[in-house]
Structures are given as C-alpha cells and as structure tokens.
Amino acid sequence: MADLSMTYPKERSETTTSRKSGWWSSYRSRLTPYLFIAPNLLLFSIFVFFPLLYAAYISVHQWSLIDAPEFNGVQNYTRLLSDGQFWQSLTNTVIYSAATVPTSLILGLFLAIGLNRKLAARTLLRSIYFLPVVVSSVATAVIAAWLFNDNYGIINALLKQAGVGPVAWLSSPRWALPSIILTTLWVRIGFCMVVYLAALQSISPSYYEAAVIDGATRPQQFRFVTWPLLRPTTFLLLILNVIYSFQVFDLIYVMTGGGPGFSTTMIVQYIYQAAFASSEMGYASAMGMVLFVLILLFTLIQWRINRRTEQFV
C-alpha cells in the first residue's frame, strides 16, 4: 500500500494489433483492459462512491425514512457542534485511539525484534501472538465479556485470590473502556508484530555487520539502523491503526453496546444508533461525513509529514 508509484509495462508493440487484420480486432484489443476492470468499477460505483455522494446529499436533509427527505441546509452539522453526546463519542474515540495505537505499535515492535532472534520454540511463540488476528471481533468480544464478567469471570476470581476487587469491569463507566482497550491490544499486537517481522527480515544483515565494525552497541544498532529502516513500516502501521480505531464498531457493540451509559460509545456506534434506532438518516449521514473527513485528513497529514522527513520508497 505504501508504494503508489506505478511501474509501467513496456509499450505494447504495434505489430500485435496490425497483424490481426481489421478494425474490429484492433478495437477489441484496446477494449480488453476496460472490460477486465468494468465489473469492479461498476461495483465500486454502486456500493462505495455513490453511497459517499448519497451520504453528502442526505446529510443536508432531515429524513426519518417515512416522509420524503426535507432539505435543511447545514442544520445537521450545526446540531453536531452543540450535541454533547457527539462530542462525548468523539472524545471516547480519541481516548481509545490514543491508548491502543502507540501501545500496540510498541509492543508489536518489541515482539518482532524478540522473535526475530534465534529462540527456542520461536515459531510456536509467533503463532500464539498472531492467533487473535484471525478471531472474529464478535468472538473476541464474547470471550472478553466472559473473562471480564463481574461475578463469574476468571479475572475477578484471580483478583479475589490476590485480595483485590471484585472490579466491575464492564458494568462500570470507569472500567468499561480500559477493558475494551485491553481486548483491542490482544488483537492488534499480533498484527503489528507480523508486519514488523516482515520488515525486519527484509533488512540486510550487512548493515548490522557494518555497524558492529564501527563499534555500535546493540542499542545504537537499533537507534541508527533498525529504527530508521523501519520508519515506513511504522508510518504505515500508524495510519492503519488510527483508521481501525476511528472506525471501531463490532467489538464494542457486542461487548458493551456502548455502555454503561455513554462511556464506551464511539463515533460509529453513535452513527448506528442515530440511523437505526432513532431513524435520523440526515443526522447520521452528517456524522458519517465528519468521520470520513477526519480519516481522510489524518491520512493526508501523515503522508505530508512522512514525505517531508524522508524519501518514501
């Protein structure tokens, strides 16, 4: 995903088309790539690009699905500004992202560096850290809800043996978000580890050999060889993880439903409620547009910063 530069295939020699006689075959061979792309383009248009435009259209209307949409200008957007719950959901999303993104990157990097060394049972250890990545977010949420269960969950049982608790993990506004953050880390660490491992393995050993000749200690090797070479990967993981965090829905919907109260409601959950519980399609779409712009902005800012500080290969 990082490499946006296109590698151009060689210009196709004219002999190919002229050999096959007639305008039809020439026409047809020029049509081929468009035909190959057409089905995807059609599906993208109907199910991605049109919905985005449609959302922009609905977002300036009041619409409960029962009557016809009624134009109301920027009212949905001005309402957003004064909607405490929207700001709460945005704040929750920012806290959630700030807690999950750097942590999973750091732990993922640590694991990757550790498991890139020759260690006993290295493959098994890698597999275990990676396993949560294939577990669906619904199953993850269900398992986590059981572990964090107030009365019969194993976490509280173990805490009780240690003389602590019980903690109302998922039923108190104070602990619900931390529980969700821990659960998210369970999934994301392995993901970051795999991406970092692949990047580490693509670093040529000769860099380290040269660093050792220059007398670099191991922390210095990390500081001056590994870290700079991993920068594109770190940057990419940062973007991906922030986008994942801003669009989080499944895990929290199943684990807490956004509660207790409003304590774990994220933006997408609030959009979902506005659209499918309150039937406020216009308001929900306006929030969707804001979320889209936030994700877009973050990606663009990151691209800019990255391009300024280094050459991206």
With binding defined as CB under 8 A, does residue 197 bind other proteins? yes
Report the nearest approach of other proteins to the CB of residue 91 (Å): 18
Residue 67 contacts other proteins per CB under 8 A = no
- Rounded to whole angstroms, how far apart are CA atoms 137 and 183? 10
- Name which of residues 127 to 146 contact other proteins (CB under 8 A): 127-139, 141-146
Least separation in angstroms between residue 12's CB and other proteins is 6
Q: Shortest Cβ distance from residue 277 to other proteins (Å)?
A: 12
Candidate residues 30, 174, 223, 304; the one interacting with other proteins per rule CB under 8 A: 30
CB of 51 to other proteins, least distance (A): 4
Cβ neighbourhood burial of 50 (10 Å; 0-12, 13-18, 19+):
exposed
Listed ranges 81-89, 96-104, 112-120, 171-179: which one lies at the site for other proteins (CB under 8 A): 112-120
Tell which one of 78, 102, 164, 218 touches other proteins (CB under 8 A): 218
Neighbours of 9 (CB within 10 A): 6
What is the CA angle 56-58-62, rounded to 5? Answer: 140
List of E strands, the chain: 61-62, 70-71
Is position 277 an interface residue for other proteins (rule: CB under 8 A)?
no
Instruction: For other proteins, give the closer residue by CB, 296 or 301.
Output: 296
**At how many degrees (to 10) do helices 84-115 and 122-130 cross?**
170
For position 43 contacting other proteins by CB under 8 A, the verdict is: yes
The answer to whether 274 and 137 are in contact (CB under 8 A) is: no
Q: Work out whether 227 is an interface residue with other proteins (CB under 8 A).
A: no
170 lines the binding site for other proteins (CB under 8 A): no
DSSP code at position 310: S
Does residue 301 interact with other proteins by CB under 8 A? no
Q: Does 222 bind other proteins (CB under 8 A)?
A: yes
Should residue 71 be labelled a site residue for other proteins when binding is judged by CB under 8 A? Answer: no
Q: Does 305 bind other proteins (CB under 8 A)?
A: no
Which single residue is written with the structure tokens 């449609």? 54
Per CB under 8 A, 27 contacts other proteins:
no
Kindly tell me which of 177 and 246 has the beta carbon lying closer to other proteins.
Answer: 246
CA-CA-CA-CA dihedral for 75, 80, 82, 84, to nearest 10? 150
Output the smallest distance, CB 213 to other proteins, in A.
Answer: 9
Contacts (Cβ under 8 Å, ≥6 apart) of 175: 167, 168, 169
User: Cα 19 from chain centroid?
Assistant: 50
Helices (H), 45-83: 50-58, 75-81
Q: Does 40 bind other proteins (CB under 8 A)?
A: yes
By CB under 8 A, tell whether 58 contacts other proteins. Answer: yes
CB of 139 to other proteins, least distance (A): 5
How far does the chain reach from its first CA to its final CA, in angstroms? 11
